[in-house]
């Protein structure tokens, strides 16, 4: 029973962090696009790259949750 709670907490906390990070990245990118519309292409590319980096936290927490469930 404890490993299910541990896996759920690991995934939940990791997902919260990734969600907050991606939200801030998106908000900052939209603000920058509103200020400089001529840079939309460059900003979009950088936003997608930054989102991918922020999402790795969620992916790592998913892997750890599976390891808790299957190994421990």
Q: Which CATH number does the domain housing residue 66 bear? A: 1.20.20.10
**Domain with 12 in it:** 2-70
Exposed, middle or buried, 21 (CB in 10 Å: 0-12/13-18/19+)?
middle
Residue 17: which H helix or E strand, with range?
Answer: helix 2-35
| pTM exceeds 0.85 | no
Q: Kindly report the number of other CB atoms within 10 A of residue 57's CB atom.
A: 19
pLDDT, tens digit only, all 72 positions of the chain: 889 999 999 999 999 999 999 999 999 999 999 999 999 999 999 999 999 999 999 999 999 999 999 987
**Number of domains comprising the chain:** 1
How far is 55 from 50, CA to CA, in rounded Å? Answer: 9
- Using the structure block, give the residue that is written with the tokens 């790592």: 60
């Amino acid at each position: 029973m404890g490993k299910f709670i541990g896996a759920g907490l690991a995934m939940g906390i990791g997902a919260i962090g990734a969600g907050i990070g991606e939200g801030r990245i998106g908000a900052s990118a939209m603000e920058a696009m509103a200020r400089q519309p001529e840079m939309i292409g460059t900003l979009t590319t950088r936003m997608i790259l930054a989102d991918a980096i922020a999402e790795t936290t969620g992916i790592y927490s998913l892997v750890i949750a599976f390891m808790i469930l299957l190994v421990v």
